A and B are shown apart, each in its own frame.
Chain A
Amino acid sequence: MIHFVLLISRQGKVRLTKWYSPYSQKERTKVIRELSGMILSRGPKLCNFVEWRGYKVVYKRYASLYFCMCIDQDDNELEVLEIIHHFVEILDRYFGSVCELDLIFNFHKAYYILDEILIAGELQESSKKTVARLIAAQDSLVEQAKEQASTISNMIAQATK
């Protein structure tokens, strides 16, 4: 099972965190500090796994971002690497050659996409197409709502409530 997902920039800035196991806020910051120290200091061309507190952390660097996932001892590292790659490909497809800034300004969308891929720490959708279709469908729902909300009459109605 995946215990948490972290996206950390090369400078150590956190870009996304998703926790599938209970960690208190204090633990979370500690975990991130520990792991970013461990992972960012590792050179290129090394293996993508680190042992950490009895867990394994699988990470992979894409451009300036490190995608990290923490898994159990007997989980399959290569599978998790594939999940990371899967996630990155979907992000790439959605944003159109994704970059760090996309994720910064659309942090919520990154979460929505992640939620379509992982649930309760398990991979739930292995088809990129399906994820893309679902996200697009949800976005269109949002667009409809926005159009409705931004009509002038609606705004006046809101304001004079």
Chain B
Amino acid sequence: MAGPSLMDSFFQRSLDDLIKGIRLCLPGGEAAFIAKSVDEIRREIKSTDSQTKATALQKLTYLHSLHWVDMSWAAFPAVELSSSSVHSHKRLALLSASLSFNPTTDVILLLTHQLRKDFSSSNPHDVSLALSTLSSISTLDLSRDLTPELFILLNSSKNFVKKKAIAAILRVFEQYPEAVRVCFKRIVENLESSDMGVLSAAVGLFCELTVREPRSYLPLAPEFYKILLDSRNNWVLIKVLKIFAKLAPLEPRLAKRIVEPICEHLRRTGSKSLAFECVNTIVTSLSEHEPAVKLAIMKIQEFLLENDPNLKYLGLQALAVVAAKHSWAVLENKEVVIKSLDDVDVNIKLESLQLVMAMVSEDNLAEICKVLISYALKSEPEFCNEILGSILSTCSRNFYEVIVDFDWYVSLLGEMSRIPHCQKGDDIETQLIDIGMRVKDVRLELVHVARGLLIDPALLGNPFIHNVLSAAAWLSGEYVEFSRNLLELMESLLQPRTCLLPSPIRAVYIQSAFKVLTFGVYSFLSTGDDASYPSELTDFVLKEDFQESSETVTSAPISGADLSNGLNPRSSHPSAGNGEDPVIAHEQTSSASSKKQQLTQKSVMDLVNLVEVNLGPLAGSHEVEIQERASNILGMIGMIKPRIHSSMDESEGDRIKRELRASGMMKLMFDAFSEELGPVSVSAQERVPIPEGLVLKESLSDIEAICDHIKLPISSSFSLVRSHSLNNATTIHEHPSKEEYEPSSESTSLLAEHRKRHGIYYLSSENKVMISDDYPPALELKDQAIDEAEDLVKLTKQSLDLRKKRNQAKPRPVVVKLDDGEGAHIVVKKPQLKDDLISGAVREVLLGNEAASSSSNKAIKKREKNELNIDRPESNITMTSTVASEPGNASSRHKLRISGKEKKRSSSGKEKKEHDHKHNQKSDRIHAKHKSRQRADGTLNVAAQSPVIPDFLL
């Protein structure tokens, strides 16, 4: 490769040439041109001529910042050029460094020396350039090495250098919190600077720091307060207001002091940005001060009525903040808010939607939903779904708290899913099923709504509401006793267009058809001949047909669990004797005519035939879920059909035998399906006592030896017949629950094996894992239910009873809630290490604790405190600790707050006590000193006991 020649220097393309070249490129040719230019640059940048090098670097920087060309390879030339004595070259080099360097750039360390030199340059422009660069590329090393120079610059006589140093130091603090110890005092001093630039930079810096960790900066409140009163510069005031917005919630007395000046600014100012900031501060941090809030809301109203969309948007936003505590504010502006739903701007629409939802109460819910749905119908898809989403989330909030009339809500859900743009199928599905399980009284209406959805073939073509259909199918299967017309329901479940459904949902359809069929046939059989068969025979039949029923039972919870998103499978709640009772009751509720219709032999035959014809082809489906369920139904039909068919022409003995078999089996099947599903608490399992003799701590590794010889039936079977034979061979005489144990014990042993091998990767507490592995499945056939399951039933009953008691007073239907914080989220706050370090250092500087090494420690050392006092004698500082909370005549609320604080802070008690003690002595002394100045209204003691703020403010 030829080195750069003189010719290169003379005929080098300038930046202008490069840009023109790119602009002249034909579409598509740009990349090639850029690649060619980069090749040129690679050559040129090696030139010994600094002008050539600089131009090359400039071109590369251009390509990097606007065409994303990689320039990490050119980091060294940039460093090289940064030492140029020619200012323009230095400027270019540092520009390219600040645009392209990142913390992984290795040559960044080579820049340290140059920056240090520039910091002490006599040319202020060099200094300023270096500061800008440092602020963009600061790393830990750079920050640490340059802190001493920055410290000097903080005292520069040139204000424009000083202000840049202050601004840049934020980045240094972030990288190297130790710098706070060195530089902090000098920065604090600048809060009293008379130069607007310097002051603005200092306030800006504190604003950034305060946002991250407000508490540390409380001691600086007097300085900020002074700026708030004296400054007339809007930029500075906005920042100070931001600082106070963070500080005020920490110290109620501070809020009292600042409220008036802020209102004053709000009244006085003509600047919209300042006014908005005042409003913001009031609504977020001073919402307890009624007059201020009123003033702020007046201002918000002004904003809302202006034509400026910006002000309208911000006004709505501010209103949303107020709404949490002062809902009247929203109601007062109801008209504007609702009109804004029709705004041209989506952002404004969203804000107003949020506000509308904030206005919702029990009384106006239906009205608001009506308005919203009408807006949803005429909106574009995106916003339409926003509306639907917020209706859904508002209505379901806190277990449907706002809903009184569930019939209305359920039909609203149905209506919503029919809105053409609706994409909220998932949410509607969840809520339909959830309501079905929680609210008994609404099931009739639910089934009615579900029917409406199922019989409409058009809906099957809309993939967005497939989930809703799945819920509808499940509901009409689960609560089939409320259906008026079984044949119609079955037809809609098996209609040809169901092939458009994805297979898991289709499986739900088929499972529901199964339930409907079971219900139909069973009611026919049980009313046809009022069963009076001998009990031994029934038992025989029971045993004989056990396989089928266990089969269905095992498959039922699968679909149930799929649907209900984690709600547990059936609890074996209705006890043995009264299995039929609910049916009879339900039958009575449905109209007499439909009952007759259901029960004629012909209609049952129609039902059976319908199912058989439609599901026949599906037994060969490639989808296991579908195939399995279809086969289940077909198998059952195979057994019951002869009975219904030949009820007339058959010999007496055969007839009875078949009849018994069939109706016994149907009863079992029916019982299995009629067990009620209910919501189960997330902690239900934990409350079940561990069965006696179950040793959880014991290693399970030897279980493999026990299980080894047992051939496991793998995931039930694909057809009824096969499962029969398989089970016959293995476990037919076993306890039924054994069957369900095995897969889990196998996986347990595998798990144990895995744990043995990779033990170190497991969590040490094995308790919970074991419980969930070994606990007998929640689902049991009630005849064979073992003790543990009964315990569970008891538990469920208990909690049900509790719930009933609680809800008795309410006029609306009972909504089943679990009493132990269902769905509660535990938010773990991640501490931000760097910020912690900064604020820790700040506290140490401000509160003068040398000894404390961790940021959560707060204490006072007399010596340093005095120093601070000497620094600013005019501000009458009494430094006191935040953590002190001895009883005094501080307001009780304040005390509460403080003790809450203490809880949060889990620092060591001993240390704290010690410090508190020290602090008390000290503040007593200070008291004596300042007594004459303090007001007589009792703040004196307050200041002594639990203050954070120097008494200048209080």
Contact = CB atoms under 8 A, between A and B. Distances in A.
A145 B125 CA distance: 14
B88 A145 contact: yes
Contact of B344 (A43, A104, A126): A43
Interface string B250-292: 0000000000000000000000110011001000100000000
B852 interface: no
A141 B87 contact: yes
A45 interface: yes
A9 to B, nearest CB: 11
A13 to B, nearest CB: 8
A92 interface: no
A104 B233 CA distance: 34
A104 B62 CA distance: 9
Contact of A79 (B92, B200, B208, B273): B273
Interface in A95-151: 104-105, 107-108, 111-112, 115, 119-120, 122-127, 130, 134, 137-138, 141-142, 145-146, 148-149
Interface in B48-83: 48-49, 51, 58, 61-62, 65-66, 68, 70
B310 A49 contact: yes
Tell me the dominant secondary structure on chain B's binding face.
Answer: helix
Contacts of A43: 344
B373 interface: no
Interface stretch (B165-173, B415-423, B668-676): B165-173
Nearest to B171: A120
A158 interface: yes
A120 B168 contact: yes
* Size range of the chain B interface in the assembly: 35 or more
B348 A79 contact: no
Contacts of A74: 211, 242, 245, 280, 284
B616 interface: no
Find the residue from B6, B125, B171, B347 having the highest chain A CB count within 10 A.
Answer: B347
Given A108-B95, A124-B164, A45 B6 contact: no
Interface in A29-61: 29, 43, 45-51
A17 B99 CA distance: 9
B347 A76 contact: no
Contact of B310 (A25, A48, A138): A48
B448 to A, nearest CB: 41
Contact of B277 (A76, A126, A148): A76
A1 interface: yes
B103 A22 contact: yes
B19 interface: yes
B16 interface: yes
B313 A76 contact: no
B240 interface: no
A158 B125 contact: no
A122 B197 contact: no
Contacts of A82: 273
A22 B102 contact: yes
A107 B62 contact: yes
B164 A119 contact: yes
A159 interface: yes
Contact of B86 (A28, A145, A159): A145
A14 interface: yes
Contacts of A111: 95, 99
Interface string B512-536: 0000000000000000000000000
A46 B68 contact: no
A122 B87 contact: no
A126 B204 CA distance: 13
Contacts of A125: 160, 163, 197
* Size range of the chain A interface in the assembly: 35 or more
A36 B125 CA distance: 35
A130 B160 CA distance: 9
B249 interface: no
Contacts of A115: 132
Contact of B91 (A78, A105, A138): A138
A88 interface: no
A105 B19 contact: yes
Given A16-B65, A149-B86, A78 B103 contact: no
Contacts of A1: 208
B135 interface: yes
A65 to B, nearest CB: 13
Interface in B294-332: 309-310, 312-314
Nearest to B23: A104
Interface string A1-30: 100000000000011111010101100110
A159 B132 CA distance: 34
Given A25-B68, A108-B58, A108-B95, A47 B168 contact: no
A78 B273 contact: yes
Contact of B135 (A78, A120, A123, A138): A120
A17 B61 CA distance: 12
Contacts of B66: 14-17, 107
Interface in B136-189: 136, 160, 163-164, 167-168, 170-171
B401 interface: no
A130 B273 CA distance: 23
B65 A123 contact: no
B505 interface: no
Contacts of A126: 196-197, 200, 233, 235
A74 B280 CA distance: 9
Contact of B272 (A78, A123, A130): A78
Interface in B529-564: none
Nearest to A23: B102
A120 B167 contact: yes
B88 A141 contact: yes
Interface in B1-34: 6, 9, 15-16, 19, 23
Contact of A122 (B6, B208, B280): B208
B167 A124 contact: yes
- Sort A-B residue pairs by CB-CB distance and give the 7 closest, nearest first: A78-B273, A142-B88, A47-B309, A47-B313, A46-B345, A122-B204, A120-B135
Given A47-B313, A125-B163, 7 more contacts: A16-B65, A76-B277, A81-B310, A120-B135, A137-B125, A138-B125, A145-B86
25 contacts: A20-B136, A45-B309, A47-B310, A49-B310, A72-B211, A76-B238, A76-B276, A78-B314, A81-B310, A105-B15, A112-B95, A120-B135, A120-B171, A122-B167, A122-B170, A122-B201, A122-B205, A122-B208, A123-B204, A124-B201, A141-B87, A148-B86, A158-B51, A161-B48, A161-B49
Interface of A: 1, 14-18, 20, 22, 24-25, 28-29, 43, 45-51, 72, 74, 76-79, 81-82, 104-105, 107-108, 111-112, 115, 119-120, 122-127, 130, 134, 137-138, 141-142, 145-146, 148-149, 158-159, 161
Interface of B: 6, 9, 15-16, 19, 23, 48-49, 51, 58, 61-62, 65-66, 68, 70, 86-89, 91-92, 95, 99, 102-103, 123, 125, 128, 131-132, 135-136, 160, 163-164, 167-168, 170-171, 196-197, 200-201, 204-205, 208, 211, 233, 235, 238, 242, 245, 272-273, 276-277, 280, 284, 309-310, 312-314, 344-345, 347-348
